[in-house]
Chains A and B, each alone.
Chain A
Amino acid sequence: MNHKRVRALTALLAASTTLAQAQTTLDLWHIQTTDNGKKIIQDAVNRFQKANPGVNVNVVVTPNDTYKTKLKIAVGAGNAPCVFMSWGGGPLYEYIKSDQVLDLTPFLSKNAAFKNRFLPAAWSAVTFDGKVYGIPAENTGVAVVLYNKALFAKYNLQVPKTWPDLLKVVATLKQHNVAAFSLANKAKWPGSMFYGYLVDRIGGPDVFKNAVTRTKGGSFADPTFVKAGQMLQDLVKAGAFVQGYNGLDYDSGVSRQLLYSGRAAMELMGTWELGTIKNENPNFLKNVDFFSFPTVPGGKGNANTVLGTVGDNFYSVSKTCKNPDAASKLLTYLIDDQAAQDRVGDNRLPPVKGLKVTDPLLQRIQQLVSKAPSVQLWYDQDLAPQLGELHKDTSQALLGLSVTPQAAADQMETLAKKILK
């Protein structure tokens, strides 16, 4: 063999290994599949790469439901991406318990200025045993009742403040052959919102928390859960929902089509829906307003308490990441001032303080969240995965009148006893 060639090859090999040492590649997985969502993250990544030469970020975008499975398989196989997105709550806690997620508390205490930019409520879904495992970044997604102002005006309806008010609205709409609520409950989480709010309005925020943490005698068999189930079924029996609600698919947009066509007057949904409507049917948005879930007479809940998440989409660093420092630094770019403002431009409300918002609906969401005494994370995301799945099953069955409220509560409690210590 030609010596020169060997030497050249060795040199090349040596050069490439030193290059490989200097270069770090970080994987970043997220689920922002819209063009704007993708661009906002890619821009943030570009700013990070410019400020940190030698660090490459490999961004992978996956649609929502596929993502859940994909992440789980990757983490289970020991191939977790350095930075990954989650919804916090029970599923994230599974990863934490399995020692797969980096504790960001030391990093945040070193970067106090960064930490203090966020609304305090934003940390609740990613804080476990006093430690923080994720950065809230994308949006404030809390459930509100969106309604068609024109329909309300046509039938002389007032925004309902209490449950009896709501039942009156339902009755009037029914007289006129309009469904009160649009609901696409095939995936079960949209219907779960009704149940979560009813539990809160009847029993206050602690009933659910105590049942989950098994403290202060908390239990899923608590009369509050049974009563919530009963009231949900009362609503069904009053004919409040569109036809076929338990079989309709939210992702395909049918629940919104029912609103657009005037066949349904309201929808209980996360505030992201306003952005979706703006993209899908900007004309209709002029007709849309929203109100908070009504109170229940004699209930302990506060009308200002919200169900949802302040921060919706949290970014965490995996323990298998070879360069956790760079990954932690990347987190700060994902929600820097520029990224926050870009998201506002995309009709979203990232959970940072002092956002400049001009859109009136966004402003009202901002107020709603700032005066909320507490934010309850979506039940299906807050609960441990097994319980969350059962909760979705039982709430769909309650809505389908195929289980009694007592039986649904008992099923939850039986499983809770088994898997929660």
Chain B
Amino acid sequence: MSLITPAKPVRVPSRTRQVRSQNWVAAAFLLPALLTLVVFLVYPLLSSFRLSLLNWNGLGNTARFVGLQNWADLLHDRVFLTAIRNNGVLAGLSILVQIPLGLVLAFLLDRAGRASRALKVLYFLPLLMSSVAIGTVFRSIYDPNFGPLNSVLRALHLDVLAQDWLGDPRLSLIAVIAVVCWQNVPFYMLLFLAGLSSMPAELREAATLDGATEPVIFWRITLPFLQGTIRSAMVLSLIGSLRYFDLVYVMTGGGPSNSSEVMATYMYRTVFSSFNIGYGAAISSAMFIIVAVVAGLTLRATRRFETEV
């Protein structure tokens, strides 16, 4: 090599050399994480896009290249559009219910101090239970014939409110979302409790000395202090809602008549019940794009909001 193109000795300033060697060390430490990322995230993502161009039942060498056909079909797929709408409803209600409720609970628990320990554990319980178990339990709670929910409503002479919760297409989605919220509020509560615990006590003390009332402290001091946490919570809630699967799958399977279908349940059915891998991959890739775009937009919007405040 060196005989053909004589290497010119390059003089490297020692400072740069040091930085460069530091970079190498950093790279070496990052490599395992990077590899994991590539193997378990980037590669599956790319193969999912590749699969979305095929018509394939997932078995053997029967795949046929169909270009963007699956994507074109997706745009006209009534069920997929319903699923996107349902994911939107889920995301909207999650943010409107879970985050304020989590915030209020966290605030109250924080104010209650040590006395609230038992309550903290109690409120935290739903998050510890497996979604499948929760789904099964709530399915029987909602049962229109034997379930306790309707029995209680009837006992209170509220027969009008006793409904076919999971079997009525107008109610099924809301009935599932109520459980999703119940399960996830503790997570946001925990997030906000952590945020509150990092709030310096002097802030509150100073405000109290200046004669600020509790509501004023909450609105003018606590809330602005937590805005970073709230922003993270919103992004998490949005992303989580758009990818949601387990409780919907267990409680309604996306039905009746697709009324509670979300993108993930539709994708699962397409791949594992319909044997339609290509189309399922198109759904999951579309999901990825939607989640990425929505997450990006939310981050930008909340950042602008933050600089304005």
Contacts and interface: CB of A to CB of B under 8 A. Distances in A.
Interface stretch (B33-41, B117-125, B163-171): B163-171
Contacts of A396: 255-257
Classify chain B's interface size: 35 or more
B273 to A, nearest CB: 5
Contacts of B144: 243-244, 247
Contacts of B276: 385-386
B58 interface: yes
B94 interface: no
B186 interface: no
Interface string A148-191: 00000000000000000000000000000000000001111000
A254 B146 contact: yes
A72 interface: yes
B208 interface: no
Given A95-B59, A244-B144, A389 B273 contact: yes
Interface string A244-271: 1111110010100110000100000000
A91 B59 CA distance: 11
Interface string B236-271: 000000000000000011011111000000000100
A242 B257 CA distance: 18
A256 to B, nearest CB: 12
B257 A186 contact: no
A244 B172 CA distance: 11
A388 B273 CA distance: 9
Summarize B's interface: helix, strand, loop or mixed.
loop
Contact of A247 (B59, B167, B258): B167
B23 interface: no
A194 to B, nearest CB: 15
Q: Which of B136, B169, B252, B276 has the most CB of A within 10 A?
A: B169
Contacts of B79: 393
Nearest to A78: B60
A252 B140 contact: yes
Interface stretch (A96-104, A198-206, A363-371): A96-104
A244 B146 CA distance: 11
Nearest to B258: A393
A76 interface: yes
A400 interface: yes
B275 A72 contact: yes
Contact of A248 (B167, B269, B274): B167
Contacts of B274: 385-386, 388-389
B257 A393 contact: yes
B284 to A, nearest CB: 16
A34 interface: no
Contact of B275 (A91, A187, A242, A400): A91
Contact of A244 (B143, B259, B272): B143
Interface string B61-100: 1100000000000000001000000000000000000000
B144 to A, nearest CB: 4
Contacts of A108: none
A229 to B, nearest CB: 13
Interface of B: 57-62, 79, 136, 139-140, 142-146, 164-169, 172, 252-253, 255-259, 269, 272-276
Given A69-B272, A98-B61, 12 more contacts: A72-B275, A75-B59, A94-B59, A98-B62, A244-B165, A246-B167, A246-B168, A246-B256, A252-B139, A257-B146, A397-B256, A397-B257
16 contacts: A72-B275, A75-B59, A76-B58, A186-B252, A243-B164, A246-B256, A246-B257, A248-B143, A258-B145, A385-B276, A388-B274, A389-B273, A389-B274, A393-B258, A396-B256, A400-B257
